[in-house]
Structure 1
């Protein structure tokens, strides 16, 4: 009799457990986690640069390692500029082909560092960001791009470093809005990696030019944008675009801090001192579905003199080297 009672007790316990699991399963099917949340949870902890650790290396390091087989240089400029002059041993790969190149043409793990090169360092930073998000954590961009390699490549920076809007800067502390709802991502996938793969395929097909904003347009109509100054408090206090909100370097774009204070229904105009760091962040925010743009050349495009005066990261002729190229 005792054995029979024990049987029924175990039977009803197991049925109750099964029922709870079944109900939980039905609830999960009817209320699945949104793709944004799934993707953020998958990426946070894997993408170092959203915490302010930007993988940007100097031209001098690249020059010192030209004979180092563990350094692989990829030049994403047009083939005509590549033919005009490029760094020794560099390969020319169009930006839209980078993901396929990494998957099919090389073994990325064979290299200590893979360095992307462009004209100014900004598009290379953007695609380095996408590749890092894809899991290739040995990808870097070269600071200032080919503009820092030799003078005849420096026009990109020389023509775009300006101080035209220094008299229109403000020092007002603008506060962040309350957290809102995230952008909707609709890939139809349920796993973080699957969602990411879908997002990356789409983004590599979109030219970086689509995400460039000009400082002139921002100053003319600042109300058309949600303006983000990503950096340090001291730099923000030095002067910023009217209406710009400080998002602290290294912490503000995390899901448990201020990520969801970014709007999902307004263009986010993000800038840093040089625009190169911003390009990495734009890559991340684009993957998450935000509508973002990088203010080209960053603060150097509107307050270059003020940056120089205060010892900030300002472009000048001092950044231009006399390194050889293959013609």
Structure 2
């Protein structure tokens, strides 16, 4: 009871501060009567303690060149399967499964001298998801390697290369804008006990989400807890009224050519744009987070699937049922992503010829 009262007081002064500083838009005032629940408790805590996800620190990604030249001072953790690890891994990398990673880092957090802890997966998307969760918990020196092992050596690039595609569903695309819906309540989250403080809630929630598998290697016939491939989404979920599709990027990803030019449609019809890049950070509570419908399944795509994977980790932490569309724009419209004349997007395109082919070890 005292905890609930304390949260209400904190929330009151939080809203008061927003109103005084002018950060809250007038139309957000319609949501101020919602009940303080576990999701709001976590949201206020996260935004009051660095707000990692909505900061310049996110998504905490390093390219393979940076990883290679920092191996002497960094701990590299490979979260692929033991078989994948044994078939080739970065020198001195240790193999830890995603469901053991959280406890491992908590146990060594006061007994290591590494400047960086670098999470490596097959394509970078699973690593982006787990890295975001670990950052939300407070592991501020955790990063993930861009494009995963696929960016280390061409021998590991098949999952990415086979995903590069121009979808057959482009005829469902448009350049017309779908507006964000009205503000709504945050999702409801249940915990093992009712009297947990917010740090204990965060710990329990992170542990739960770290245990969920994130399969970042498949590009077809996948619909799992945290991710889905694009064609499967279009085939099974696109017309589902309980689906909510988000383009998590910017205008350059959402549109193609001039806005409204139907000769070059940019996004699946009905897609809502939430701007991820600075200075927008539209998933903040004083921006548009609460326009995301809590009762629907949220599907997000980004440039290459890594930013959307991090967003899924953040949204699931707050109780949303969210899934990342694997490989993002690279599997939806690769010719557009890799077009050298469209230099805004090519920086997020997977280019096989750019792979440096660093050495690796086999067990």
Give the shorter-chain TM-score range.
0.7 to 0.9
Question: For structure 1, which segment, 231-240 or 262-271, has the greater mean C-alpha deviation from structure 2 after superposition?
Answer: 231-240
Alignment check: 8 A CA contact 2:42 2:201 kept:
yes
Deviations 1:129-171 (CA, angstroms, capped at 9, x unpaired): 1110110011101001000111110011001110124444211
Is 2:359 the counterpart of 1:320? no
Structure 1 or 2, whichever has the larger Rg, is: 1
* 1:319 CA drift (Å): 3.2
Q: Pick the aligned partner of 2:270 from 236, 243, 248.
A: 243
* Distance in 1 (alpha carbons) for counterparts of 2:111 and 2:245: 36
* Distance in 1 (alpha carbons) for counterparts of 2:135 and 2:214: 16
Equivalences, count: 302
Deviations 1:9-37 (CA, angstroms, capped at 9, x unpaired): xxxxxxxxxxxxxxx969939x8832111
TM alignment of 1:210-225, pairs within 5 A: 210-220=225-235, 221-224=237-240, 225=243
Alignment check: 8 A CA contact 1:38 1:191 kept:
no
Cα 1:154–1:25 shift into 2, 3 Å: closer
Alignment match, 1:269: 299
* Distance in 1 (alpha carbons) for counterparts of 2:112 and 2:146: 23
Q: Pick the aligned partner of 2:5 from 28, 31, 39.
A: 28
Is 2:114 the counterpart of 1:115? no
Is 2:289 the counterpart of 1:284? no
Is 2:144 the counterpart of 1:141? yes
Is 2:62 the counterpart of 1:57? yes
| TM-score normalized with structure 1 length | 0.87
Alignment match, 2:19: none
Alignment match, 2:330: 300
Alignment check: 8 A CA contact 1:160 1:297 kept:
yes
Runs of 4+ in structure 1 deviating by more than 3 angstroms, as ranges, are 24-29, 105-109, 165-168
Q: SS of 1:184's equivalent?
A: coil
* 1:106 CA drift (Å): 5.1
TM alignment of 1:54-203, pairs within 5 A: 54-66=59-71, 68-69=72-73, 71-105=74-108, 107=110, 110-164=113-167, 165-187=169-191, 188-203=194-209
* Distance in 2 (alpha carbons) for counterparts of 1:25 and 1:104: 32
Is 2:41 the counterpart of 1:38? yes
* Distance in 1 (alpha carbons) for counterparts of 2:198 and 2:148: 33
Alignment match, 2:259: none
* Distance in 1 (alpha carbons) for counterparts of 2:197 and 2:3: 18
Q: Pick the aligned partner of 2:244 from 226, 237, 240.
A: 226
Question: For structure 1, which segment, 135-144 or 228-237, has the greater mean C-alpha deviation from structure 2 after superposition?
Answer: 228-237
* 1:257 CA drift (Å): 1.2
* Distance in 1 (alpha carbons) for counterparts of 2:302 and 2:137: 23
Alignment match, 1:16: none
Q: SS of 1:72's equivalent?
A: strand
Cα 1:172–1:51 shift into 2, 3 Å: farther
* 1:48 CA drift (Å): 2.2
Alpha-carbon RMSD: 2.2
Gaps of 5+ in 2: 9-34, 216-224, 257-265
Deviations 1:274-318 (CA, angstroms, capped at 9, x unpaired): 110111111111111000000000111110111112231211213
Deviations 1:85-125 (CA, angstroms, capped at 9, x unpaired): 10011000000000111012454762211100010000011
* Distance in 2 (alpha carbons) for counterparts of 1:107 and 1:301: 41
Q: SS of 2:239's equivalent?
A: helix
